[in-house]
Amino acid sequence: MASLGKKLGLLVGAGLLLSGCMQATTYQETSAAALKPRDKELLSKVSYVKTPVPEAFRRAIVDYHRKEAPGSIVVDSDNHYLYYVQEGGKAIRYGITVGEEAMAWSGIAKVGAMTEWPAWHPTPSEISRLGVPKFVAPGPDNPMGSRAIYLYSGGKDTLFRIHGTNQPEYIGASISSGCIRMTNEDVIDLYNRVKMGAIVVVLEPKHGDSPYNSKMALQGGSSSWQ
């Protein structure tokens, strides 16, 4: 019994340490009220498998220690998180798919355009590399998903976007052509919050400082307590 009590004490202590570091509260799933009739219609027609997002990458409200202003977006590509900064030292954290290292983009941009159920216009590089058509119409299986937030710098389109995906199984991975992918439900949630002109900070590689590293998250936790 003494040994069990000691083990339980260690587990409680570990939980307190982690909660002190993160203090993450699982955020509610997108409510039906947040979805427009077209969203409900198209999301009901998707042919991809709605693979559940790993728990570590599900939408959550977390403590936020950086200095970006409320209303800003911060992308931590290293750890596969996007933060929507809120008042009071909090942020909504979303799991994302990011570009492979050779194609990833970083920098400071602004939200220059926003589109619901966008068409996809692949770049010449994507057409050559992926063998895709020049145009894919909006729809439930379009790779751009349910929403697109276009990143501009110096008044010009950077060609990088925050958008939905038809491959939710890759949330938490680095496989895209550089754009930032979210589940269709999460990008709708973000789209409903962010404003035109909002600052978007995409951190450089090796500059992510999430207390919950994505490599650990994919292994099911940050520590193994026996």
pLDDT, residue 8, reads 34
pLDDT, residue 26, reads 59
* Regions in the chain scoring below 50 on pLDDT: 1-23, 211-226
pLDDT, residue 219, reads 43
pLDDT, residue 27, reads 62
Residue 107 vs residues 104, 153, 166: alpha-carbon distances, Å: 10, 9, 26
The catalytic residue positions are 163, 179
| Contact of 152 with 111, CB cutoff 8 Å | yes
The pTM of the full predicted model, rounded to 2 decimals, is 0.79
Cβ count near 89 (within 10 Å)? 13
108, burial (CB in 10 Å: exposed 0-12, middle 13-18, buried 19+): exposed
Provide, for the chain, the percentages of residues in helix, strand and coil under a 3-state DSSP scheme, each rounded to the nearest 5. 25, 25, 45
Which residues are 153's β-sheet partners? 156
Side-chain half-sphere exposure of 197, counting CA atoms within 13 A: 0
pLDDT, residue 46, reads 95
pLDDT, residue 128, reads 86
Which ranges in 2-94 belong to alpha helices (H)? 2-22, 37-43
pLDDT, residue 177, reads 74
CA distance 78 to 84: 17
CA distance 160 to 150: 7
Domains and CATH numbers, the chain: 25-218 (2.40.440.10)
209, burial (CB in 10 Å: exposed 0-12, middle 13-18, buried 19+): exposed
CA distance 8 to 29: 32
